[in-house]
Chains A and B, each alone.
Chain A
Amino acid sequence: MSVSLNDVTNELNAMKVSAMSLNNRDEQVSALLDGELDDLESRRILAQMGVQDDAKARWSEYALIGEAMRDQTYSPSVGFAARFRAALADEPTQLAPVPRVERRPAAPWYWLAAAATVAAIAWTVVGSVPEGNPGVPQMLATRGQNVYTPVSVTVGNRDEQWQTVEAIPYLAAHQDYAHAVIDAPEMHYTPVSLVEVAR
């Protein structure tokens, strides 16, 4: 079964209608769903709600959505996360780190916006550059850790001229190490800006 982004958005809209009537306690739930609380705080709120066992399971399932939105893990066994990610993959992508949103008094709508701009969410563990043998590449991370931090943001429209003038020779040379028989696919090019911290 395939789930389009529209389906997901409609589902979220339905949830949003429910969330609009939440009281102060529900604001905390909103914060929970916005990912603005740490796990400890999340569990405390769930416990306060008096539905801890049931809510834990729901929270776990909700975490899958969060992971899908941030693309932090890949688990093909989780059907919904994969389909949700697939739906998002069809959306225009903006690759830019975005600072964590400040807590607002009431933010039930925020995570709808987050869904629409999901690719702009950054994850923030940056691998430090170890000192060592110059010229000998080091690993960015130990296995299992996610250290990728997007640093580029699209700043213009597609540049087809760049493809014809500049890119093809690189693609042709790289084909030496791609699969035999396969030709380089058509590529699309856009100017990007790289965040200052990464330069």
Chain B
Amino acid sequence: MKVNSVHWLGLVGLSLSAVCACASAENLTRGDAAAYLQRMSDAARQLPYEGVFVMTQGDRAQTVRVMSRLSGPVKESRLMVLDGQEREVRCSRSNSISLVGSGAGMRMERRLGSRHFPDLLPDNAAALAEWYDVRLGNMERVGGFECRQVDLVPKDAYRWGYVLCADKNTAFPLRAVMVNAAGKPLMQYRFAELKLGAPVRMQPPPAVPAQTDGVRAVDEAEMNDSPVQVNQLPPGFVRVAGMRRHIPNHASVVQHWVFSDGLTHVSMFLEPSSKPIAPVKGESPLGMMNLLKRQVGGYEVTIVGDAPWPTVESIAMQVGTRAAK
């Protein structure tokens, strides 16, 4: 049977219309989106809460008890992993301490970051409206609370999407799902139970150990004197941190820069290279984390982040040597 082009196109259209579904989500204006995101961020940071959430990443799941409150102007929180090895994380304003194991075998790990669910949005969450469309979806019920689904849809290929559910009354995030461009979940958090707004009693955190892990912050001027520079960053990304640190199995001190758009974080490690470096790409099974190592002049550059591959690759390819002054 000879099928002409009209039929051919008709076949395409028929096939598509059979499977095409359109979302009913409400698109917020940029101003409304900024206000909504900021409200969610403020609620997660300022409201006292205590509860249990489940984190799922691929085939791994963890149940975590969390409590958080403001101590003066500063948020402090405590997370206890309830599955597997005992682990507790105490977060304060700009760093956190992981307590792994128990009793005499307990070890303490200092971390420089303190992000944790449900406080995932940055302090200045309104700025995210520049890089994400925000859509309000249907009402749902999570952890016993009525909540509104909120989609953060990235406007480009440089960041993951998020599907959140915000408490109807306070906008407190009750669920957060990081999704890729195909809508496939990469990581999920969801409250199973929650007490929101009531006073939280918390044991004081253990004494913070002296900074013995070989990390030294560097300021903007020192970073700008680095022999290597990043000429361009993906839209919305800025350098948010810089430090020199010792890395296991590495003889020299490594420079560690961190870039972020507020939600997505990408690290750049920079160290002198004593031999030619063949480029290597790394990716997690679901693609949530990506890595690219390459040589730039006499330096090894390693970019790693919980970011889409275009973000990691773009940053890596924009690293260049700085002309000698």
27 pairs from A and B in contact (CB 8 Å cutoff): A54-B6, A74-B161, A77-B23, A78-B20, A79-B20, A79-B22, A80-B20, A86-B182, A86-B184, A129-B232, A134-B229, A135-B226, A140-B233, A141-B235, A142-B235, A165-B249, A171-B289, A171-B291, A176-B113, A177-B241, A178-B265, A180-B89, A181-B116, A185-B58, A185-B286, A189-B282, A191-B279
Nearest 5 Cβ contacts at the A-B interface: A79-B21, A135-B224, A86-B182, A180-B116, A18-B3
Please encode chain A, from 138 to 177, with 1 for each CB lying within 8 Å of some chain B CB and 0 for all others: 1111111110101110100001001101111111111111
Given contacts A18-B3, A61-B17, A142-B235, contact A179 B180 (CB under 8 A): no
Q: At the interface with chain A, which of B33-41, B43-51, B151-159, B165-173?
A: B151-159
**Closest CB in chain B relative to A133 CB, distance in Å:** 9
| Majority secondary structure, A binding face | mixed
Alpha-carbon distance between A83 and B21 when the two chains are bound, in angstroms: 10
**Across the interface, which residues of A come within 8 angstroms of B187, CB to CB?**
179, 182
A178 contacts B113, CB within 8 Å?
Answer: yes
B232 contacts A138, CB within 8 Å?
Answer: yes
Alpha-carbon distance between A176 and B155 when the two chains are bound, in angstroms: 27
Kindly identify which residue among A95, A139, A170 contacts B267, using a CB–CB cutoff of 8 Å: A170
Kindly identify which residue among B81, B181, B254 contacts A71, using a CB–CB cutoff of 8 Å: B181
B8 contacts A19, CB within 8 Å?
Answer: yes
**Across the interface, which residues of A come within 8 angstroms of B5, CB to CB?**
22, 25-26, 29, 49
Kindly identify which residue among B229, B231, B281, B306 contacts A189, using a CB–CB cutoff of 8 Å: B281
Please encode chain B, from 289 to 308, with 1 for each CB lying within 8 Å of some chain A CB and 0 for all others: 10111100000001011100
Q: What total of chain A residues lie within 8 Å of the partner, measured CB to CB?
A: 91
Q: What total of chain B residues lie within 8 Å of the partner, measured CB to CB?
A: 114
Please encode chain B, from 186 to 212, with 1 for each CB lying within 8 Å of some chain A CB and 0 for all others: 010000000000000000000000000
> Closest residue to A64 on the B side, CB-wise?
B16
A151 contacts B130, CB within 8 Å?
Answer: no
B113 contacts A177, CB within 8 Å?
Answer: yes
**Does any Cβ of B come within 8 Å of A11's Cβ?**
yes
**Does any Cβ of A come within 8 Å of B125's Cβ?**
no
**Across the interface, which residues of A come within 8 angstroms of B260, CB to CB?**
177
B155 contacts A143, CB within 8 Å?
Answer: yes
**Does any Cβ of B come within 8 Å of A107's Cβ?**
no
Query: What 15 new A-B contacts, CB under 8 Å, besides A143-B155, A162-B280, A181-B87?
Result: A29-B5, A54-B9, A57-B13, A61-B13, A64-B16, A74-B154, A75-B153, A79-B21, A82-B183, A83-B19, A95-B309, A139-B236, A141-B156, A143-B131, A187-B289
